Amino acid sequence: MMKYIRYAFLLIFTCSLPLWAQLEKPDLVLEGTVTVAQNHTHFYIPFTVPSGVHRISVDFSYDHRREEKTVFNIGIHDPAGFRGQSGSNKDHFTIGPGDATPSYIPGSIPPGQWKFLISVSNIRPEITSKYRVEIRFNSPLEDASFTLDPLEINLRWYRGDLHMHTAHSDGFCGSQNEKHVPCPLFLTAQTATNRGLDFIAISDHNSIAHYAEMRELQPYFDKLLLIPGREMTTFYGHFNAFGVTQYIDYLVAEKNGRTIDEVVHDIQSMGGIASINHPMSPTGEACRGCGWTPPAPVDMSKFTGIEVVNSGRVMDAFWDQQLAKGLRLTAIGGSDNHDATKAEDQRGALAHPTTVVQAKELSVAGILDGVRAGHVFIDVTGSRNKLLEVEAITSAATAHMGDTLAARSGDDLRLHVHVVACAQDQVHMLVDEKTTGEPLPVRDDDQALDTRWMSDGARHWVRFVVLDAAGNTVLLGNPIYVNF
Ligand SMILES: [Zn+2]
Ligand SMILES: [Zn+2]
């Protein structure tokens, strides 16, 4: 009984804290009291920031606030001076290298003596108000995400676009006077919302400047997850980093430069994932470094994904080559949009293609985990409602897209395919790169199809694509990895 009461108390207590506060203990706590003697004064509370800090996050609270109308305004100074102030309108803020809570100034976090500012705007004569400042350094959650809480907790398929550019790199669109101008990031988020997406990764080239605006926009776009993205753009190929807001040295070069392996190692060590973009594009003067032409062998096993559909083009041969080597790399898609105002029927329009990820929640961690697991299909047409689900069943186990399955020689795999909004299309099964068996015609808007395949005990990957009557790929699913 006692145990139950304690558990219930713990539950109530922890639920009242923001998710963030439940995850990480503060590195510093500054506490004190304020009385009427300090009314209409400003005072600083000094604290020391050690070296090696790239992000500082602050939670502020005080009592006698609502009923007694106590009001404290807050701000912060680094050793060189002012880093922002938010009056009494924000109790939590974060300052990182490229992004900060609005009211605060992003940039590096110099070590040394910082000062937390309290301006006593109002306190009544009989009140003694206790305040508490919790300071956290290098919060992994705020390094990876612009929201502390998932936007939705629900196991389902979430639709998004993982590759696009804005004013912070080479995104351009028409101005009010129809001039060609850097295209505001806000328009990208608004267009993605209008097209029914659940998430976008804004992947401006090499910079971290776009994260400030993404942090500002995330509370407003509370149905559209904004994933920190970046296109690491090298002379020998492009790849996206997802889930990292810290700067990464992208200067890969044979002479006096870094290697691709070193850059990918940085992405992973900061909690992110890397995915190769448009590897089959040509490299030349028209598109410098667009194809995948590393000067030295690259450890492909450190990548999580490959962009198999870029803009409107399905390019799966490079991906298949990697799978043939025994690597598990999730096929994803990206519009590579460079103009948020581009109409939906034009090549490179936002949400074309859409990458559809099964995740347990709409958070950066949730979506990236879904990509890692390969629980992903690509909706090449950006349909908003098409669905492809695959289940493989042996006498011993069940696997879904992205899963591995052990199957001995002679084991029969029963394959269940579920497609939605694909009437009149055909489902093709590919084993390794090759079409296997007869295509399965789809008649209904919501249809379950069954087929079989017999294992020979060797390593294979089994995946499904949906083609329309003209033979165009409509949906592309990730494989079930047999004996990988
Ligand atoms: Zn690129
Ligand atoms: Zn790009």
CATH number of the CATH domain containing 60: 2.60.120.380
Ligand nearest to C-alpha 337: 2
Average pLDDT over residues 453-464: 97
Q: Is pLDDT above 50 for 11?
A: no
Q: Is pLDDT above 50 for 3?
A: no
pLDDT of residue 14: 42
Q: Which residues surround ligand 2, an ion (CB under 5 A)?
A: 231, 336
pLDDT of residue 313: 93
How many angstroms separate the CA atoms of 218 and 230, rounded?
A: 17
Q: Which residues pair with 331 in a beta bridge?
A: 306
Of 53, 59, 51, 49, whose CA–CA distance to 23 is shortest? 59
Ligand nearest to C-alpha 201: 2
Task: Looking at the structure, tell me whether residues 183 and 67 fall in a common domain.
Answer: no
Q: What are phi and psi of 25, to 5 degrees?
A: -75, 145
* Within a domain: 446: no
Task: Looking at the structure, tell me whether residues 183 and 120 fall in a common domain.
Answer: no
* Within a domain: 110: yes
Ligand 1 center–CA 288 separation, angstroms: 9
Q: Considering its fold, how many domains does the chain have in total? A: 2
Write the CATH number for 283: 3.20.20.140
Ligand 1 center–CA 328 separation, angstroms: 22
> pLDDT digits over 290-318, tens only?
999 999 999 999 999 999 999 989 999 99
How many angstroms separate the CA atoms of 465 and 478, rounded?
A: 9
Task: Looking at the structure, tell me whether residues 224 and 298 fall in a common domain.
Answer: yes
The β-bridge relationship of strands 330-334 and 305-310 is: parallel
Task: Looking at the structure, tell me whether residues 118 and 48 fall in a common domain.
Answer: yes
Q: What are phi and psi of 398, to 5 degrees?
A: -125, 140
Ligand 2 center–CA 142 separation, angstroms: 25
Ligand 1 center–CA 433 separation, angstroms: 25
Ligand 2 center–CA 349 separation, angstroms: 13
Q: Show the CA angle centred on residue 120, arms to residues 117 and 122, nearest 5°.
A: 155
Q: Tokens standing for 282?
A: 């040509």
How many angstroms separate the CA atoms of 375 and 244, rounded?
A: 21
Q: Is pLDDT above 90 for 174?
A: yes
Spatial contact of 142 and 364, defined as CB atoms under 8 Å apart: no
Average pLDDT over residues 48-77: 96
pLDDT of residue 10: 41
Spatial contact of 40 and 120, defined as CB atoms under 8 Å apart: yes
* Within a domain: 112: yes
Ligand nearest to C-alpha 276: 1
Q: Which residue has the tokens 């912070």?
A: 168
Ligand 2 center–CA 201 separation, angstroms: 11
* Within a domain: 3: no
Q: Is pLDDT above 60 for 412?
A: yes
Residue 9: which pLDDT band, with cuts at 50, 70 and 90? Answer: very low
* Within a domain: 436: no
* Within a domain: 454: no
pLDDT of residue 417: 98
> Structure pTM?
0.94
Q: Tokens standing for 113?
A: 């003596």
Task: Looking at the structure, tell me whether residues 184 and 42 fall in a common domain.
Answer: no
Ligand 1 center–CA 287 separation, angstroms: 9
Q: Is pLDDT above 80 for 24?
A: no
Which of 110, 142, 174 is at the close of a domain? 142
Q: Is pLDDT above 90 for 100?
A: yes
pLDDT of residue 82: 98
Q: Is the dihedral of CA 343, 349, 355, 361 positive or negative?
A: negative
* Within a domain: 478: no
Ligand 2 center–CA 322 separation, angstroms: 22
Q: Is pLDDT above 80 for 473?
A: yes
Ligand nearest to C-alpha 287: 1
* Average pLDDT value for the chain: 94
Omega of the bond prior to 353 within 30 degrees of 0, cis?
yes
Residue 218: which pLDDT band, with cuts at 50, 70 and 90? Answer: very high
Task: Looking at the structure, tell me whether residues 169 and 222 fall in a common domain.
Answer: yes
pLDDT of residue 19: 57
Ligand 1 center–CA 194 separation, angstroms: 25
Which residues form the domain of 41? 18-142
Task: Kindly report which listed range (11-15, 126-130, 397-401) carries the lowest average pLDDT score.
Answer: 11-15
Range list of H helices, 84-236: 140-144, 185-194, 210-217
- Characterize 212-226 residue by residue with b for buried, 16 or more Cβ atoms within 10 angstroms of its Cβ, and e for exposed: bbbbbbbeebeebbb
Q: Tokens standing for 256?
A: 């006096």
How many angstroms separate the CA atoms of 43 and 190, rounded?
A: 41
pLDDT of residue 238: 98
Average pLDDT over residues 329-340: 98
CB atoms within 10 A of CB 348: 15
* Within a domain: 67: yes
Which of 384, 419, 448 is at the close of a domain? 384
Task: Looking at the structure, tell me whether residues 95 and 128 fall in a common domain.
Answer: yes
Which of 333, 351, 384 is at the close of a domain? 384
> pLDDT digits over 230-284, tens only?
999 999 999 999 999 999 999 999 999 999 999 999 999 999 999 999 999 988 8
Residue 17: which pLDDT band, with cuts at 50, 70 and 90? Answer: low
Ligand 2 center–CA 141 separation, angstroms: 26
Task: Looking at the structure, tell me whether residues 280 and 136 fall in a common domain.
Answer: no
How many angstroms separate the CA atoms of 65 and 439, rounded?
A: 68
Q: Residues near 331 by Cβ (< 8 Å), separated by ≥ 6? A: 305, 306, 308, 309, 316, 319, 376, 378, 476, 478
DSSP conformation letters of 414-482 = EEEEEEES-TT-EEEEEETTEEEEEEEE--SSEEEEEEEEE--SS-EEEEEEEE-TTS-EEEEEPPEEE
Q: Is pLDDT above 70 for 435?
A: yes
Task: Looking at the structure, tell me whether residues 197 and 327 fall in a common domain.
Answer: yes
Ligand 2 center–CA 235 separation, angstroms: 14
Ligand 2 center–CA 163 separation, angstroms: 6
Ligand nearest to C-alpha 290: 1
Ligand 1 center–CA 339 separation, angstroms: 15
Task: Looking at the structure, tell me whether residues 322 and 208 fall in a common domain.
Answer: yes
How many angstroms separate the CA atoms of 321 and 111, rounded?
A: 48
Q: Is pLDDT above 60 for 7?
A: no
pLDDT of residue 286: 84
Spatial contact of 268 and 261, defined as CB atoms under 8 Å apart: no
Question: For 436, how many CA atoms within 13 A lie in the half-sphere containing its CB?
Answer: 17
How many angstroms separate the CA atoms of 417 and 292, rounded?
A: 33
Ligand 2 center–CA 155 separation, angstroms: 30
Task: Looking at the structure, tell me whether residues 73 and 208 fall in a common domain.
Answer: no
Q: Is pLDDT above 80 for 459?
A: yes
Ligand nearest to C-alpha 334: 2
Cα 363 to chain centroid, rounded = 8
Q: Is pLDDT above 90 for 15?
A: no
Q: Is pLDDT above 90 for 20?
A: no
Ligand 2 center–CA 231 separation, angstroms: 6
Task: Looking at the structure, tell me whether residues 227 and 118 fall in a common domain.
Answer: no
Secondary structure element (H or E) that encloses residue 261, with its range: helix 260-269
